[in-house]
Amino acid sequence: MFERLESEGYAVHRSAYGLETAFEIEYSQGSGGRVVVFNAEYDALPRIGHACGHNLIATSAIAAFLATCEAMKLQYRNGPGFTVRLLGTPAEEAGGGKIHLINKGAYKDVFACLMLHPISPLPHDDKFLSIAAGPPGGFLATDDVRVTFTGKAAHAAAATWERINALDAVVAAYLNISLLRQQILPSKRVHGTIVNGGEQPNIIPMSASVDYCMRASSVKSLKDLKEKITKCFEAAATATGCGVKLEWSAVSYADLKVNHPICERFVDAMQTMGHDSVMEMPEQEGLLSGGSTDMGNVSYEVPGFHAMYIIPADGVNHTHEFARAAGSSEAFERTIACASGIAQVACQILVNDDFAEQIKMDFDRQ
């Protein structure tokens, strides 16, 4: 693909922005003008494959990118200057690939960034449907932490009063957080697991650790939740006499900001082509929400679009059933249909100044 595009006037950059598995393909016409980016995700899940449909995300981005470029070349050969980019964004599932790309300047001159994401059929609604504003309840801001408690080891049956049990601190922290869940908003999530609880039963654990993940509806709300969770860990350390060390993730995912003018234009484009599409589905809130994506971080940098579309699947995302569905011909057809919709939106962003101003105003308002 790279070689063919290079021969047709596209600029191809492998290992883009210093990331070995990232790439960037660009087409420009004239000078100046707006820059539109399509994000292509392609990382799979360990031992389960494309159970989140990133193969389809890459397909939609490639199709929309090529359709936008070729349509602009055909319809606006002597029109305004513009740039369209296809950005290969690795490691969405855990590594925060787009956050690294942000830090490297990949979105610095970008006016808007567009992408699509497949989902399983909604409860009580089996129509082909795209949801422009994403899942009800939105994508959540999230952060992870590894917490290690340190005590003093001893034989579990001899002079135990002279030692400090790090596993006790883990248990206390777990109970503290479980109790805290009664006093946090339903939109907030806290989940964790014990990574190390000691070596063997007849030794009082000198070290024990847990991994926790926190999610909230916004970056601001997540900050408040992290402060409360941190106190739970610190209280457990104080109560047991242990030392405590918190190691926060190097990447923290932000919530996804919705750009309403882009969403509305996408719905119009899809409906004009005869496809069911809605702005949002509030009646499904609580049934389809709670996930996180590093596209949220991009939406804090530039106006972003991250629509969801349904593919026929017997299981939800991150299951073997969804992985099988993501490889079906019908999933491919629906992906191409939605890619046509975002290509139309991209063309309007590039040539319609009034539309571009609406997008910018909505972004600045948030």
Q: What is the pLDDT of residue 127?
A: 65
Give the pLDDT confidence score for residue 242 in this predicted structure: 98
Any idea where the domains of the chain sit in the sequence?
A: 2-139+256-365, 145-248
Residue with tokens 């109560």: 239
Give pLDDT, residue 284. 58
pLDDT mean by block of 10 residues, the chain; 366 residues: 85 96 96 96 94 97 98 90 98 94 98 96 72 81 97 78 92 97 92 94 92 95 97 98 96 95 98 93 62 95 96 93 97 97 98 98 96
Give the CA distances from residue 170 to residues 61, 108, 202, 240, 265, in Å, rounded to whole numbers and listed in that order.
44, 43, 18, 10, 50
DSSP state of 253: B
Q: How far apart are CA 150 and CA 164, in angstroms?
A: 8
Angle at CA 67, nearest 5°, toward 66 and 72? 100
CATH number of 145-248: 3.30.70.360
Task: Answer yes or no: are the C-beta atoms of 24 and 87 closer than 8 Å.
Answer: yes
| 230 CB-contact burial (10 Å; exposed 0-12 / middle 13-18 / buried 19+) | middle
Q: What per-residue confidence (pLDDT) applies to 136?
A: 59
Name which of 307, 305, 306, 309 is nearest 363 in CA terms: 305
Q: In a 3-state reduction of DSSP, which class is residue 95?
A: coil
For the chain, what is the largest distance between any 2 Cα atoms, rounded to a whole number of angstroms?
87
In order of 36, 305, 338, the CA distances from 113 in angstroms are: 6, 6, 15
Spatial distance between the Cα atoms of 100 and 253, rounded to a whole number of angstroms: 11
CA distance 132 to 130: 6
d(CA 208, CA 210): 7
Q: pLDDT value at position 215?
A: 94
pTM greater than 0.85 (yes/no): yes
CA–CA separation, 320 and 322 (whole Å)? 5
Q: How far is CA 329 from the centre of its chain?
A: 25
d(CA 193, CA 174): 9
Choosing among 3.50.50.60, 3.40.630.10, 3.40.50.1000, 3.30.460.10, the CATH entry for 2-139+256-365 is: 3.40.630.10
Decide whether 2-139+256-365 matches 145-248 in CATH topology.
no
Q: Which of 94, 116, 87 is nearest to 22 (CA)?
A: 87
Question: 38-57: b or e for each residue (b if 16 or more CB lie within 10 Å)?
Answer: bbbbbbebeeebbbbbbbbb
